[in-house]
């Protein structure tokens, strides 16, 4: 539970520094014999405490939301069970280093679970540290996995200190080791943040306008509410235009219409406003394409969760189709096994993932390059890094977290944008339907913010032109090496 309490929105990230110690003590007491069971129990409590909000989803039936939460928690907890199994085995086999292998194994599990269809990166321990800006600056080198590694390593050091105290041995060395582990990233991050003034003066700037309409997502799709919703967006856009932004951003599926296809004439209406204001507009929208089946020759429609860019006098110049879809919410994975779910009317979507890593080129006001991450996209470090590699100077995150109400879900989701900014030294402008909308600088500092369930607009200046980080240039080198080292420890135990 200590691990879970360290996650947003609670300002208790420091609890994660010793949240694994009860597990270590239990494993030591049983001589590593029940690692899987203890890991699974730990995982159930940890996972339930962090992602309980899955069960609050207002986009489906209450029973379906609760059932999906129970199944998700039961499945995700297997990751911690695997961690417990391996550490228990290493402890039981007497591999030199013992519990010091924990950080390697934990990061190995975090990294390996980033692959495959049923990917869910949300339980990374790095998310617990987003409120501590000096600590997370190491993510520019290691990615988020380096922060998780540090948290588990600190847990291990404090456990060694506690073990020495329990055994009535000198704990001075263990205390100094724990202190050194704590201070290294803190000192590095402090140095990085103190060097900001010189870097800020050399940066290029773009003024971004954010619209947060705060509309009930269930009501938005109602045919009678459609015109009212568009009128609201029109009004808020005119309001933010008075602050002379270089670009305006609407949230995910801001208009419940296939804008690119000009459904209900909304494309023409938006273009008219964009022309009148002389300001580009990026908005989320449903999209549809057709695909010809080479085997049957049939043409099938494909639906997408997308973003489109309107430019004055040019129209819709580019679009991006969401790549990382939410399993069982936006599509049904492994349809041979779970195909029956698609036949149930539970509010799930039937989207097709996009393939193109779009970099939007704004040319009408200022010349700037950006990419858009739609909702779940923003929790995937590798995807955002690839946008950066393709030439994006900054990131627009558009989302609709209204489905999860006042739960911790929207706060945790917003925190990922801070981590993405630090990893890539890339500013982030976040437009969320019901909040939390933010403008974040390349070091993770929130410059502007609209709170949850607040209707409004905001404008802020972002700094672009920063050079790429080690992480953005080389990727998950750190986590790959750590995973190999962890596998080496496991192999060592097998061969002993």
The per-residue DSSP string of 367-428 comes to: -EEEEEEEGGGGG-HHHHHHHHHTT-SEEEEEE--GGGTTSSHHHHHHHHHHHHHHHHT--E
Sheet of strand 437-440: strand arrangement: 360-362, 368-374, 394-399, 428-432, 437-440, 446-450
Q: Which CATH architecture has domain 204-465?
A: 4-Layer Sandwich (3.60)
Mean pLDDT score of the chain = 89
pLDDT at 202 over 60: no
The CB density around residue 456, as the number of other CB atoms within 10 Å, is 16
In this predicted structure, what is the pLDDT of residue 158? 96
pLDDT digits (tens, 9 = 90+) for 422-471: 999 999 999 999 989 999 999 999 999 999 999 999 999 998 888 889 99
In this predicted structure, what is the pLDDT of residue 327? 81
Residue 477's pLDDT band (boundaries 50, 70, 90)? very high
Alpha-carbon gap, residue 225 to 299, rounded angstroms: 33
Most confident of 74-88, 209-223, 282-296: 74-88
Helix (H) or strand (E) holding 458: strand 456-464
Whole-structure pTM value? 0.91
In this predicted structure, what is the pLDDT of residue 398? 97
Residue 273: name the closest of 295, 298, 254 by CA.
254
Question: DSSP strand E in 24-85: where?
Answer: none
Domain span(s) for CATH 3.60.110.10 in the chain: 204-465
pLDDT at 138 over 80: yes
Give, in degrees to the nearest 5, the angle at Cα 120 between 119 and 124.
130
Report whether 375 contacts 389 (CB < 8 A).
Answer: no
Residue 415: name the closest of 440, 434, 442, 383 by CA.
440
Average pLDDT for residues 156-161, to the nearest whole number?
95
Report whether 88 contacts 36 (CB < 8 A).
Answer: yes
pLDDT at 472 over 90: yes
**Active site positions, annotated:** 252, 322, 375
Report whether 368 contacts 335 (CB < 8 A).
Answer: no
pLDDT at 400 over 90: yes
Dihedral (CA of 405, 406, 412, 414) sign: positive
What percent of the chain stands above pLDDT 90? 60
Average pLDDT for residues 272-295, to the nearest whole number?
88
Measured in degrees and rounded to the nearest 5, phi and psi for residue 307 equal -135, 140
């Amino acid at each position: 539970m200590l691990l879970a309490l360290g996650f947003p929105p609670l300002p208790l990230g420091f609890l994660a520094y010793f949240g694994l110690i009860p597990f270590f003590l239990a494993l030591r007491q049983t001589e590593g014999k029940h690692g899987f069971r203890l890991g699974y129990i730990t995982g159930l409590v940890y996972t339930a405490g962090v992602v309980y909000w899955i069960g609050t989803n207002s986009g489906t039936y209450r029973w379906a939301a609760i059932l999906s939460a129970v199944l998700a928690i039961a499945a995700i907890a297997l990751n911690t069970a695997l961690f417990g199994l391996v550490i228990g085995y290493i402890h039981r086999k007497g591999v030199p280093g013992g519990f010091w292998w924990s950080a390697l194994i934990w990061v190995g599990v975090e990294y390996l679970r980033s692959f495959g269809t049923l990917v869910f990166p949300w339980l990374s321990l790095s998310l617990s540290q987003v409120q501590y800006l000096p600590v997370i600056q190491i993510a520019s080198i290691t990615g988020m996995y380096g922060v998780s590694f540090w948290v588990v390593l600190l847990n291990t050091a404090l456990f060694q200190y506690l073990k020495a105290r329990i055994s009535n041995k000198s704990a001075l060395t263990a205390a100094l080791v724990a202190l050194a582990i704590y201070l290294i990233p803190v000192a590095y991050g402090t140095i990085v943040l103190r060097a900001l003034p010189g870097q800020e003066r050399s940066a290029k700037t773009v003024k971004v306008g954010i619209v947060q309409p705060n509309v009930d997502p269930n009501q938005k799709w109602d045919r009678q509410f459609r015109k009212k919703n568009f009128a609201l967006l029109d009004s808020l856009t005119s309001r933010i235009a008075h602050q002379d932004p270089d670009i305006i951003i609407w949230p995910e599926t801001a208009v419940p219409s296939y804008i690119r296809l000009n459904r209900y004439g909304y494309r023409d209406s938006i273009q008219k406003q964009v022309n009148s204001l002389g300001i580009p507009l990026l908005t989320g929208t449903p999209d549809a394409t057709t695909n010809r089946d080479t085997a049957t020759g049939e043409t099938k429609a494909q639906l997408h969760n997308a973003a489109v860019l309107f430019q004055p006098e040019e129209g819709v110049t580019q679009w991006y189709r969401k790549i990382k879809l939410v399993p069982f919410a936006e599509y049904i994975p492994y349809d041979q096994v779970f195909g029956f779910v698609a036949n149930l009317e539970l509010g799930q979507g039937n989207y097709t993932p996009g393939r193109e890593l779009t970099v939007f080129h704004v040319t009408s006001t200022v010349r700037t390059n950006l990419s858009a991450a739609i909702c779940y996209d923003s929790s995937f470090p590798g995807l955002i890094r690839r946008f950066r590699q393709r030439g994006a100077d900054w990131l627009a995150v558009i989302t609709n977290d209204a489905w999860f109400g006042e739960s911790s879900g929207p706060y945790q989701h917003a925190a990922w944008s801070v981590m993405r900014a630090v990893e890539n030294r890339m500013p982030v402008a976040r437009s969320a339907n019901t909040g939390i909308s933010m403008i974040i600088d390349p070091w993770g500092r929130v410059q502007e913010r609209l709170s949850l369930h607040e209707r409004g607009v905001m404008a802020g200046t972002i700094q672009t032109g920063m050079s790429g980080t080690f992480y953005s240039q080389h990727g998950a080198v750190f986590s790959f090496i750590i995973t190999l080292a962890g596998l080496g420890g496991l192999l060592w135990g097998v061969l002993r």
